[in-house]
Chains A and B, each alone.
Chain A
Amino acid sequence: MEKTKKIINGQDNVVEEMLDGILAAHPQHLRQVEGSARSIIAVDGPRPGKVGLVIGGGSGHEPTFLGFVGRGLADGAAIGNVFASPPPDPILECAKAVSGGAGVLFMYGNYAGDVMNFDMAAEMAAMDDIDVRTVLTTDDIASAPRDERDKRRGVAGNFFVFKAAGAACDKILSFDECERVGRKANDHTYTMGVALSPCSLPQTLKPSFEIAPGEMEVGMGIHGEPGIAVGPLEPADAISDMILDRIFEEMAPARGDKVAVLVNSLGATSLMELYIMNRRVKQRLDERGISIHATWVGNYCTSLEMAGASITLMHLDGELQEMLDHPCDCAMFRVV
């Protein structure tokens, strides 16, 4: 099979070379922890008395995770190999570097490898007298039934959940409160997506899975985990409707409720397509009398060069709205 085309120098150093490039672009926001190159922390943000927020996971989802490190959002990100969890050490080094004595919150997507490595890092942090608590993101509504929410994966909705928790931490709320806001944000966040064509890992340069010509896979995960249905590619409005109907069914919004919207590309899908989807999102929300507090459209949680898109809605109340509006200044995202 023909190898997929990528602009890389070699298969072994993609993560290191990407990090070098990111640090070169964002020296005012990001720096490496000394002696731990895969631990990226905010230049400005961590401070005494503030709960530290450490996020992380595999590479290949940029700007998730390290693009959301900065004042007002996450304090640090531990970076793994492509689609693979980081080991505990870089996670622990992040925790130590951002600990302000008020506890450290670990937040990341619910995947077996990540859970094991972050849990070990939490145990090691406890030996250094750093109190760690964990909030897993589980926003992908296609990844398990509603009554098994704790088995669901974390995908693009990470962005809203990290944003809300990061704001709580930045406001110097208590450890209990920061954790509560994180869990609540996750409970109020719903994502579903479709994939149109596969990605390939730099190590293999082969498509990681197959989607037949003219077809799409509904609910596929961000590492190519199988979705809930395969079918013919539909027009943008039909795709958006199908996703929104599933989200509405779970969220059960009432007239007059508020949401935040994220229309996210899995990597290869263009802004043109995302905005066509967002047009439909707006129509559907208007029809139901749901007001849109804020909309983000673009690459927020990608899967290398996978084609496809996801829609996330966060069901807002006063508190979550305040957390989303709270200023943040990160390498790849800001709210002023």
Chain B
Amino acid sequence: MSSDGTLTGGTLAELSARIRRREVSATEVVQAFIERTDELEPALGAYITRMSGEALAGARAADAEIAAGKYRGPLHGVPVAVKDIYWTEGVRTTSGSVIDADFVPERDATAVRRLREAGAVVIGKTSTVEFAFDPTGRNAHYGMPKNPWGPDRMPGGSSSGSAVAVASGMVPLALGTDTGGSIRIPAALCGITGIKPTFGLVSRSGITPLAYSLDTAGPMARTAEDAAIALSVLAGHDPSDPASAMTSAVDYTRGLDGGVRGVRIGVLSEYVWELMDPQVEAAFRKAMSVFEDLGASVEEVSVPEVEWTAVVSAAITTAEAAAVHGDRVLAEGERFDPAVRRRIESGFFVSAAAYVRAQRARVLLTRRMSEALERVDLIAMPTVPMPAPLREAESTVIGGVETPVREALLRITRIFNVTRMPAVSLPCGFSDDGLPVAFQIGGRAFDDAAVLRAAHAYQGATDWHTRRLPGA
């Protein structure tokens, strides 16, 4: 049982342990989350498609297997929500678009298949920005989910529904995707934990692409431990994803309790701080002092090339989005969200020379960040420079500077997309008006275990990740 006495208030790890010990059945767990979703979903709008019937059938099957001694592991019988750009066999996958409103895939995305093989029970398809091409969470077709911490605030995106579902206790684990921050931004604005794994670690096969040289897939949960449990199942080579790395299975929960004593944490001395809400910076600095108390050292590192992040990301993302979605936007443009349509169409005008130059700059920036990560073990920074903006805001004031909301949301997260390094976002406080504030810990490529270990150490010493809305 969770600290608040409910099944839905617990972490994935807590639920999993109770299912394994047969203190509670998977059916009871799934039923509890369905009932909570029945209660909250009308107000929050986290889902595009719910799968309650299939989920209960899956839970009963899990119970039968567990009773027969065929326990599959820590995801067995645990409900999971899936962003609606992951293909699901026999269940429509809209990608947040009306164009795909009736698209029913014949197979699961590799990530979904791996979750199912581990015994997880898919409970629904969560809301996403159309084709995952916006960081606010807006969707002109299916609506923008409500941020549980402030219904007048945006949830962040593009994995908006997954963040809202986890934050409100409608599910303990959800999948998101992250091309410019789409896992970490909504995780930050909704007060949960989300990891963008190293590019190539988790297969994107069967996930509707946005920008194929930056797209990543990963878990969103309440804690780093829960994210580690999920990543252990999700990670691994998949020949059906051309960018999939030749990695072998890793148990990211092993060594999770190793702590941060002796770990060197770098804090960028430039770029990040040029546009930063003082409340967010104060919470971040306190988080760094927690790490120092835990035995880590915190020092400034300089990587001036991070200034290129927005330029590089914009050129690559728009050009690749036009390559992926261009034919459909030309043929059926009026069926797109007008803003998403313009973003995709704009990509037609990025020249081949500019695209290649952006990729060269991306590689150069990656090398500079890798050199910095020879001097330190991790690099930490706030996830987004401000708490959740108002839902309809096009601009916001940060430190007295009026800034376009989209650019502000993407400003920092994109560093780890462009460099393809792992980064986990986790809560580190609240603003004066009660909105979550978060920071992210990035690390060396394929050292996802190190960023999760540091996040777990922080969550062992603080309780920001345990803060719940009433009944959540």
Q: Do chains A and B stick together as partners?
A: no
A residues engaging B (CB < 8 A)? none
